[in-house]
């Protein structure tokens, strides 16, 4: 018999934190907290396997589920001493989703379940507070109707607003028991009107409905989008947690809140959170009421009036702080917590590893390692390599003039410039059209995910640091300013006003998520400082990793950036990129258009000094670090003019009739240029091109050696080789040039970019001191997929489950990876000390870097901004190997 239901509560649990895949993050951690003796309301978790089984079997539950659910309910009844559906002593429960990976706000939740016209009176009598009981009932009807029955929550909000207007109330707290009773009557009428049947009164039916809805929400549109954006497989499913209700809305000694054991934005080691007195959990996240701070220090820093929890409820705050310490000690990581205080008693509703900004991740990892709580290796494993990207990008120049238009909470750091837009759909459309946009909303909801994704930054008028906008933006690594309370958005006029100023859609603003400020216009930005925690983590990564890290760069700016980021050499200098500047392009075109060897040699002679200077500039920066320079790769016609105007102007510069130029261009054009006359095939047809490049490299070496007294090392790389013979011929030509120049340091190697090259790596290694896997072309040629066109239909392949990911982004380990392994093995059999690297885009992708580590390559090479990511990924791969 499969166990579908796991109980927890009363100081013990059937599950634990290691069972995340089965119980979901929430369920596993509730179980763990219960076992730790923390105050967790009793409950049970229906496993994620119920969800997968439900979807695998045409939305039908397993046959033996019902009795297990019954037993789960009985467990809660026993521990609480209450009975589900009992008129005098009713048990109420919450029903919440909880997947393996946290998906904040994406799936459904129902609270206060079990209330009906009878049990509400029981709750009133038990609590001695009829108003509270009715408040809970109206919340239940609203939430259940919205989530389970599909009656939009606006229906209920409108009824409530009308009632408050009629009575002249402003706040919900002015509502009396009698008011709630009247409103509940109208809520039920509205349900009946919309659905043609009564609001369900049977608690069992309510429970089944809520469970169905939570499992159903796994497949709702926003959850699907979220999974796609976060690489969460649909096959994981979600668990469902049914748990005894505790009430934060039981008067002034009750409260609900969320907290982090450290600041999730900066990583600072201070408690951080928000709470609301006399409220239920959804009130905090919904951003309807402005929450109070947790600590006195935070209240003072933010200049708030309302007392902090530390001041308002010192006893419970003390219990909470003690719990923070216990949880951090136990989990050895920063925790994100939800709690409720019911009449002075603390209850823990959730703990999980807190999402944090990249900056906070670094600081927390470094602080914990330096405090001896975790090892350096553990610290490295805790930082998501790709998140480092957030730290590598510019921030506001502190000296730049600025015009502050609005102030809110610093919800997610980073700075961004863009055009103001007010709707998520529009944000997405404008983004597609190449605009950079700032999404400005009163508040965001899960329906805004696509707009937030499209925006450079998000600004909301309402909501705290844990509002939807803040949490999601931090997760996405986007700057966000939340709760900019003085902003008034006018959707009809498509503008917002703030302190008497009007900002219209399309106007440019700058958002600084680190300070919570919004500025008019574009504020100047500066490059980030890569010192402090960042430098420490990079040092630790360098100690841990065994893979070398190089960069793909050719301009002095890129080479310098990559070196500053820690590149140990150049893994790929694409020499063709050096020809795109106007002055060089003219000579290059002259070379291409030459009809004979003499003409080509004349043109090449003009290019030589320019190339020499390019290489010298690289050697000067890289000093004696290895520089792999690839000889010309793309098909020649890429350099020819295409538009008529271009052709005219080139014809004039070259003093050629336009007709002749067009004829030559036509002659050079190919139907399949990617598989055509490119790479070493050009070197075979026109040896003088490669000879010129080799000469430029060698002469640059000599030049720089004279200047600096150090010998640069060039690794000359021949692209697109498919046979040993090609390499042999080209290598001999390069050696001839080297001998002519004399006194130079170099090695010659090749790229492995074609399946045949991988298979014939044994012969090819006879002539190559190194192999660099050009996995862009190798992926293209292994799949027979054009790298320029596949983007149009690959999403269909990913959606259909044929491919897990775009193979041009993450290496296809089964196919392309096999070819790499074969080539490495055969190459090493011929030449045991052959140097092996990778220089396709995959060299900067963490999963592919892990593969390269495991395949025993010597280095990966990636674009400059990926270098720190690669250093960390390589360290993580080495640590994972050590741990295995």
Residue positions annotated with a catalytic role: 468, 839
Residues in the chain: 884
Report how far residue 856's alpha carbon sits from residue 771's, in angstroms, rounded to the nearest whole number: 13
Q: Is 520 exposed, middle or buried (0-12, 13-18, 19+ CB in 10 A)?
A: middle
How does DSSP classify residue 23?
A: H
Q: How far is the CB of 579 from Mg ion (least distance, A)?
A: 17
Report how far residue 884's alpha carbon sits from residue 875's, in angstroms, rounded to the nearest whole number: 14
Residue 99 or 751: which CB sits closer to ligand PEP?
751
Whether the CB-CB separation of 379 and 368 falls below 8 Å is answered with: yes
- Report what 440 binds from Mg ion, ligand PEP, none; CB cut-off 5-8 Å by kind: none
777 binds Mg ion (CB under 5 A): yes
- Report what 679 binds from ligand PEP, Mg ion, none; CB cut-off 5-8 Å by kind: none
- Report what 850 binds from Mg ion, ligand PEP, none; CB cut-off 5-8 Å by kind: none
Identify the bridge partners of residue 445 per DSSP, sorted by sequence position. none
**Dihedral sign (CA 115, 119, 125, 126):** negative
774 binds Mg ion (CB under 5 A): yes
- Report what 243 binds from Mg ion, ligand PEP, none; CB cut-off 5-8 Å by kind: none
Whether the CB-CB separation of 36 and 328 falls below 8 Å is answered with: no
Residue 328 or 753: which CB sits closer to Mg ion?
753
Residue 419 or 633: which CB sits closer to ligand PEP?
633
755 binds Mg ion (CB under 5 A): no
CB-based contacts of 181: which residues, under 8 Å, 6+ apart?
134
- Report what 32 binds from Mg ion, ligand PEP, none; CB cut-off 5-8 Å by kind: none
Q: How far is the CB of 9 from Mg ion (least distance, A)?
A: 59
Binding span for Mg ion by CB under 5 A among 553-561, 745-753, 796-804, 847-855: 745-753
Binding span for Mg ion by CB under 5 A among 662-670, 730-738, 775-783, 801-809: 775-783
Q: How far is the CB of 842 from Mg ion (least distance, A)?
A: 12
- Contact pattern for Mg ion over residues 710 through 729, marking x by CB under 5 A: --------------------
Report how far residue 182's alpha carbon sits from residue 134's, in angstroms, rounded to the nearest whole number: 10
- Report what 572 binds from Mg ion, ligand PEP, none; CB cut-off 5-8 Å by kind: ligand PEP
Q: Which of residues 522-551 bind Mg ion (CB under 5 A)?
A: none
Report how far residue 640's alpha carbon sits from residue 653's, in angstroms, rounded to the nearest whole number: 13
Whether the CB-CB separation of 351 and 327 falls below 8 Å is answered with: yes
- Report what 497 binds from Mg ion, ligand PEP, none; CB cut-off 5-8 Å by kind: none
The structure tokens listed for 144 are 């259940």
571 binds Mg ion (CB under 5 A): no
DSSP three-state, residue 671 = coil
Residue 102 or 775: which CB sits closer to ligand PEP?
775
Q: How far is the CB of 580 from ligand PEP (least distance, A)?
A: 14
Binding span for Mg ion by CB under 5 A among 153-161, 214-222, 401-409, 766-774: 766-774
Whether the CB-CB separation of 391 and 359 falls below 8 Å is answered with: yes
Residue 630 or 695: which CB sits closer to ligand PEP?
630
Q: How far is the CB of 383 from ligand PEP (least distance, A)?
A: 27
Residue 328 or 777: which CB sits closer to Mg ion?
777
- Report what 204 binds from ligand PEP, Mg ion, none; CB cut-off 5-8 Å by kind: none
State the number of binding residues for Mg ion (CB under 5 A).
3
Q: How far is the CB of 719 from Mg ion (least distance, A)?
A: 6
Q: Which of residues 581-600 bind Mg ion (CB under 5 A)?
A: none
Whether the CB-CB separation of 154 and 142 falls below 8 Å is answered with: no
Q: Is 619 exposed, middle or buried (0-12, 13-18, 19+ CB in 10 A)?
A: buried
Q: Please report how many Cα atoms fall inside a 13 Å half-sphere around the Cα of residue 434, on the Cβ side.
A: 0
- Report what 584 binds from Mg ion, ligand PEP, none; CB cut-off 5-8 Å by kind: none
User: Considering only CA atoms, which of 462, 460, 468 is closest in space to residue 513?
Assistant: 460
DSSP three-state, residue 260 = strand
Residue 726 or 777: which CB sits closer to Mg ion?
777
Q: Is 383 exposed, middle or buried (0-12, 13-18, 19+ CB in 10 A)?
A: buried
Whether the CB-CB separation of 466 and 473 falls below 8 Å is answered with: no
| CA separation, residue 853 to residues 35, 675, 769, 849, 871 (Å) | 39, 30, 20, 6, 12
Report how far residue 57's alpha carbon sits from residue 55's, in angstroms, rounded to the nearest whole number: 5
The structure tokens listed for 494 are 């498509």
Q: How far is the CB of 635 from ligand PEP (least distance, A)?
A: 11
| 623 CB neighbour count, 10 Å cutoff | 13
Q: How far is the CB of 846 from ligand PEP (least distance, A)?
A: 18
> Which residues are near ligand PEP by CB under 6 A?
572, 574, 633, 753, 774-777, 839-840
Q: For 786, phi and psi rounded to 5 degrees?
A: -75, 125
Q: Please report how many Cα atoms fall inside a 13 Å half-sphere around the Cα of residue 571, on the Cβ side.
A: 33
- Report what 775 binds from Mg ion, ligand PEP, none; CB cut-off 5-8 Å by kind: ligand PEP
Q: How far is the CB of 699 from ligand PEP (least distance, A)?
A: 24
Residue 377 or 633: which CB sits closer to ligand PEP?
633
- Beta strands in 354-408, from DSSP E residues, in sequence order: 395-396, 404-407
DSSP three-state, residue 623 = coil
841 binds Mg ion (CB under 5 A): no
Residue 291 or 844: which CB sits closer to ligand PEP?
844
Q: How far is the CB of 578 from ligand PEP (least distance, A)?
A: 13
Residue 267 or 844: which CB sits closer to ligand PEP?
844
What is 804-845 written as a DSSP string? SS-TTTS--TTTHHHHHHHHHHHHHHH-TT-EEEE-SGGGG-
Binding residues vs Mg ion (CB under 5 A):
753, 774, 777
């Amino acid at each position: 018999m499969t166990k579908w239901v796991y109980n927890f509560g009363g100081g013990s649990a059937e599950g634990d934190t290691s069972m995340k895949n089965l119980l979901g993050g929430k369920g596993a951690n509730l179980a763990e907290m219960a076992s730790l003796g923390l105050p967790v309301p009793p409950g049970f978790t229906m496993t994620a396997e119920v969800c997968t089984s439900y979807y695998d079997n045409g939305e039908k539950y397993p046959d033996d589920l019902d009795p297990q659910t019954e037993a789960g309910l009985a467990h809660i009844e026993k521990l609480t001493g209450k009975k589900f559906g009992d008129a005098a002593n009713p048990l109420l429960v919450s029903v919440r989703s909880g997947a393996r990976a946290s998906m904040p706000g994406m799936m459904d939740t129902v609270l206060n379940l079990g209330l009906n016209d009878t049990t509400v009176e029981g709750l009133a009598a038990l609590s001695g507070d009829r108003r509270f009981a009715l408040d809970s009932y109206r919340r239940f009807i609203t939430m259940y109707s919205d989530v389970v029955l599909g009656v939009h929550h606006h229906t209920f909000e409108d009824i409530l607003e009308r009632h408050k207007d009629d009575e002249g109330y402003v706040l919900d707290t002015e509502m009396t028991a009698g008011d709630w009773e009247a409103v509940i009557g109208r809520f039920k009428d509205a349900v009946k009107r919309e659905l043609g049947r009564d609001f369900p009164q049977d608690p069992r039916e309510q429970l089944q409905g809520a469970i169905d809805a939570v499992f159903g929400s796994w497949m709702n549109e926003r959850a699907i989008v979220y999974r796609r954006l976060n690489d969460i497989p649909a096959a994981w499913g979600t668990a469902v947690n049914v748990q005894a209700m505790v009430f934060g809305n039981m008067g002034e000694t009750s409260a609900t809140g969320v907290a982090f054991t450290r600041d999730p934005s900066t990583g600072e080691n201070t408690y951080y959170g928000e709470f609301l007195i006399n409220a239920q959990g959804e009130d905090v996240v919904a951003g309807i009421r402005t929450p109070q701070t947790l600590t006195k220090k935070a209240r003072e820093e933010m200049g708030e009036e309302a007392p902090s929890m530390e001041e308002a409820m010192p006893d419970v705050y003390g219990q909470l702080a003690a719990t923070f310490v216990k949880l951090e000690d136990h989990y050895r990581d920063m925790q994100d917590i939800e709690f409720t205080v019911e009449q002075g008693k603390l209850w823990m509703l959730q703990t999980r590893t807190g999402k944090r900004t990249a900056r906070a991740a670094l600081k927390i990892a470094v602080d914990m390692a330096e405090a001896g709580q975790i090892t350096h290796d553990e610290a490295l494993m805790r930082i998501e390599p790709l998140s480092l990207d957030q730290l590598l990008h510019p921030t506001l120049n502190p000296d730049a003039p600025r015009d502050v238009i609005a102030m809110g909470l610093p919800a997610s750091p980073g700075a961004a410039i863009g055009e103001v837009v007010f709707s998520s759909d529009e944000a997405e459309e404008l983004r597609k059209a190449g605009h950079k946009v700032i999404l400005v909303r009163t508040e965001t909801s899960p329906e805004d995910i696509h707009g937030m994704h499209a925006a450079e930054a998000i600004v909301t008028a309402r909501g705290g640091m844990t509002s939807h906008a803040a949490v999601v933006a931090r997760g996405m690594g986007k700057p966000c300013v939340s709760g900019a309370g003085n902003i008034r958005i006018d959707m009809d006029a498509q503008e917002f006003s703030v302190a008497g100023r009007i900002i219209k859609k399309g106007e440019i603003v700058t958002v600084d998520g680190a300070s919570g400020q919004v500025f008019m216009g574009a504020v100047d930005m500066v490059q980030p400082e890569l010192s402090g925690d960042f430098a420490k983590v990079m040092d630790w990564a360098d100690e841990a990793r065994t893979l070398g890290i190089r960069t793909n760069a050719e301009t002095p700016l890129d080479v310098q950036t990559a070196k500053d980021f820690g590149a140990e050499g150049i893994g790929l200098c694409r020499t063709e990129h050096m020809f795109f500047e106007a002055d060089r392009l003219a000579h290059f075109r002259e070379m291409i258009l030459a009809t004979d060897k003499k003409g080509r040699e004349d043109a090449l002679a003009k290019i030589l000094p320019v190339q020499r200077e390019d290489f010298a500039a690289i050697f000067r920066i890289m000093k004696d670090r290895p520089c792999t320079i690839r000889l010309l790769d793309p098909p020649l016609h890429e350099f020819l003019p295409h538009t008529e105007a271009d052709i005219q102007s080139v014809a004039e510069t070259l003093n050629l009739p336009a007709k002749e130029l067009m004829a030559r261009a036509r002659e050079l054009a190919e139907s399949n240029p990617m598989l055509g006359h490119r790479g070493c095939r050009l070197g075979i047809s026109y040896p003088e091109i490669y000879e010129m490049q080799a000469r430029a490299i060698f002469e640059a070496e000599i030049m720089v050696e004279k200047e600096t007294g150090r010998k640069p090392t060039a690794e000359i790389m021949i692209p697109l080789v498919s046979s040993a013979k090609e390499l042999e011929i080209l290598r001999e030509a390069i050696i001839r040039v080297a001998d002519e120049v004399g006194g130079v340091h170099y090695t010659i190697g090749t790229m492995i970019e074609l399946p045949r090259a991988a298979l014939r790596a044994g012969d090819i290694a006879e002539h190559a001191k190194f192999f660099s896997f050009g996995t862009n072309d190798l992926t293209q040629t292994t799949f027979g997929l054009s790298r320029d066109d596949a983007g149009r239909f690959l999403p269909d392949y990913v959606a259909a489950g044929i491919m897990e990911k775009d193979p041009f982004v993450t290496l296809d380990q089964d196919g392309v990876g096999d070819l790499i392994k074969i080539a490495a093995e055969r190459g090493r059999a011929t030449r045991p000390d052959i140097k092996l690297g990778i220089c396709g885009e995959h060299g900067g992708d963490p999963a592919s870097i892990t593969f390269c580590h495991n395949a025993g390559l010597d280095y990966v090479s990636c674009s400059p901004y990926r270098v720190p990511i690669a250093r960390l990924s390589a360290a993580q791969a080495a640590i994972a190997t050590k741990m295995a």
